[in-house]
Structure 1
Amino acid sequence: MDIQRDLLALAIYFIILIGLLVRFRHKKLRYFSMWTGIFLVLYFCAIEIQKKTFFILIPLLFFSLFCFFYFKEKCRLRNGWLLNLFLISFMGYVGLVTATSSSLIGAGILAVLLILFLVTILFGLYAAIIFLIGNSFIVLRHESRKLPNLLTLILGLAIIALIILQSFGPKILPNWSVILLSIPTTIAVYFFIVFWNFLSISLLYQFNHPKYNQDFIIVLGAGLINGEKVTPLLAKRIDRAIQFYRKQSEETLSPPQLLMSGGQGADEKVPESQAMREYALEQGIPAEDILMEAQSTNTLENMRFSKEIMEREKPSGYHAIFTSNNYHIFRAGMYAEDVGLKIDGIGSKTARYYLPNAFLREFIAVALMNKRLHLFICGLITLGFVALAVINYFFVG
């Protein structure tokens, strides 16, 4: 190993990192991530130049594709695939450099990844079961016993059932039929990969930082208490919009208008947008800075009807963002792009105990948007293992 080279590189890295963290105290994570990424690229490029190789172009290609498509349309699942392809190719590249160039930094990265991998293999599945079932009891203690609040419990029990099936199935079933036990396992692995893709890009989308030059902030509606008052969940969405409203007012002296979006449900006494408007007025927002959209019944209509109002108010063009709960903004952004709105979302905080359940619910909703593709792939998996079982029965068994 070229220890002197790597120790010098690490010293430079930490000196600049400490300087950035001291200089930018309020955005530590952003500057830590940016500088770490820049440092690794420069470090590995220096090794490539020294060895006269160009392998780093492979992960950089995936990263470039990810950046191109992400900043073109942020709320697309393909961005998650490109991001994960970049991470996989980069880890493979680090492994290659470590093996061929005796990189101390590369070895450190691989060691950390290896430890995480081993911990995941040894304890991950059982830790997931304990976490999911434990979390479900916390959710049920704070929330109603409706199906959407039982998702972590259902998933935990499903994993237990799958483990039991794989453990005892081969002992009681004929040899040829054991192959069929691979169907639920393979489908579960497929949906885990799809979920990981959704979760990675959804979490990345949380780091939106829109500019303080907005004309409108769309606030997405939700249910009302007793059909007339905003719920704590909906209040957080409005509070997040008000926070941005006040920050932009301080920065530019030109506040945006809050566009409350939500119609009147069958069990509601007033439109959601009206209750939201009253809440914002109580928080000190001037009436002239509040608009209402009271026709929508779902998120897609929130975006479509809000777009019509904004185009009517500012036909020459406008800048806008939307607010919702942090777990919901990615899917809401997908609907915004579907109706031709090029806007970003900012999320309000959600109780930590509810986040696993909330992200599972969002994943199911997003998966149903592509249900034909998922049904086709699950069908291929099933047909493939059934064919193997038939072959085993007639020609092997």
Structure 2
Amino acid sequence: MIVYAPAALFFLLFGIGVLRDRRRFSNAVLLGIAVSLLSLALLTELRKAPTLVVELVAVAIVLLPAIGTVALAWFLLANGLTMIRKEGRRPANLLSLLAGLGIIALLALMAAAVVTGSHRLAILAGTALLVVGYISFLFVCFVGYAFLYGRHRPRRDVDFVVVLGSGLIGGDRVPPLLASRLDRGREVYEQQAARGNPPVLITSGGQGPDEKLPESHAMADYLTERGFPAQHLAREDRSRTTEENLLFSKAIMEQAKTGYHCVVVTNNFHAFRAALTARKTGVNGHVFGSPTAAYYWPSATIREFAAVFLSHKLVNFGICGLLALCGVLAAL
């Protein structure tokens, strides 16, 4: 049983981290390490299994990642083309396409190294594989824990529901993405009101250079036009970023009530990063996600992960650099 001790230790650290604060990226990494160690421990048990079982598992270990990688590349390429067709060619909409092309390029590099027998290509492919492996591990941790975080629901009454803004269509109309947030925020409000404690719903969003009015005002209009009680609305109309959304909304909440509790609503792909930002800004509340169109989710999730990765760029670039160095040294 000693083989399971490392996994048990990291599961324990993960549990402690979640109890301290769910809104930590370290929780995602600890969970990823724990699951990886558990998988390795289970593999060691194969020595006790029949030969046929060992052979089948060995084949699965080789084939499934290879098939999965190729399938993932084609899926990302197809999704990227869908994003371009439906959302346009903005850089943020190209991420899934670029990720798919990147996977194909890595596979081509590895194949070229094997076919040509080139020592330099082997070094380059091995180094790239190490770096991509590290980033992929973090991405899986991010997606897995973000999914778990999204299962969280409020267990207590809240004083405020903060709905984060996004860009407006034509400068004054709420787009479907933002409407989804507002509908989810209203749902949370109504659940709380049914308990006899209707919270204040804060629409949060300033005015962009191409917008005719602040996002928060358009959001409030969207709600009141659909029967939402105006007396339970507040507008935060100065923010331009998620961090400002939370900071300025926090100021409104602290001014209205000391020791407040809140729920922040955004789209599901953005919920975990918004939760990390909420922790950073000292907002006392968790983040809930609203539904997002399936085709939009992959590219948006890659964008969210990239933002989290870059927010720890000193550590991540340092580790990537060390892995690259190890790859070069191992090939010498």
- The CA deviation at 1:118 is 5.5
Identify the range of structure 1 (158-167 vs 148-157) with the bigger mean alpha-carbon deviation: 158-167
Counterpart position of 1:139: 83
d(CA) in 2 for partners of 1:61 and 1:118?
Answer: 29
Percentage of matched positions with identical amino acids: 37
Amino acid at match of 1:319: H
Amino acid at match of 1:281: T
Between Structure 1 and Structure 2, whose CA radius of gyration is higher? 1
TM-score of the aligned structures, taking structure 1 as reference length: 0.76
Amino acid at match of 1:262: G
Q: Are 1:345 and 2:287 matched, yes or no?
A: yes
Distance verdict in 2 for CA 1:130–1:174, change over 3 Å: closer
- Equivalent residue in structure 1 for 2:14, among 66, 69, 76: 66
Amino acid at match of 2:317: L
Counterpart position of 2:108: 164
Amino acid at match of 1:365: A
The answer for unaligned runs of 5 or more in structure 1 is 1-52, 103-107, 393-397
Report if aligned partners of 1:217, 1:241 keep a CA contact under 8 Å in 2.
Answer: yes
Distance verdict in 2 for CA 1:156–1:176, change over 3 Å: closer
Q: Are 1:381 and 2:329 matched, yes or no?
A: no
Q: Are 1:81 and 2:32 matched, yes or no?
A: no
Amino acid at match of 2:13: L
Identify the range of structure 1 (199-208 vs 214-223) with the bigger mean alpha-carbon deviation: 199-208
d(CA) in 2 for partners of 1:365 and 1:142?
Answer: 23
Choose between structure 1 and 2 for higher RCO, CA contacts under 8 A separated by at least 6 residues. Answer: 2
d(CA) in 1 for partners of 2:79 and 2:68?
Answer: 16
Matched residues, number: 329
Counterpart position of 1:285: 228
TM-score of the aligned structures, taking structure 2 as reference length: 0.89
Q: Are 1:190 and 2:138 matched, yes or no?
A: no
- Tell me the secondary structure at the aligned position of residue 269 of structure 2: coil
Report if aligned partners of 1:257, 1:289 keep a CA contact under 8 Å in 2.
Answer: yes
Equivalent residues in 2 for 1:253-272 (5 A)?
Answer: 253-272=196-215
Distance verdict in 2 for CA 1:303–1:137, change over 3 Å: same
- Tell me the secondary structure at the aligned position of residue 230 of structure 1: coil
d(CA) in 1 for partners of 2:228 and 2:251?
Answer: 23
The answer for unaligned runs of 5 or more in structure 2 is none
d(CA) in 1 for partners of 2:202 and 2:294?
Answer: 28
- The CA deviation at 1:175 is 3.3
Amino acid at match of 2:199: P
- The CA deviation at 1:122 is 4.3
- The CA deviation at 1:93 is 5.0
RMSD: 2.7
Report if aligned partners of 1:323, 1:347 keep a CA contact under 8 Å in 2.
Answer: yes
Distance verdict in 2 for CA 1:324–1:116, change over 3 Å: farther
Amino acid at match of 1:258: L
Report if aligned partners of 2:113, 2:121 keep a CA contact under 8 Å in 1.
Answer: no
- The CA deviation at 1:112 is 11
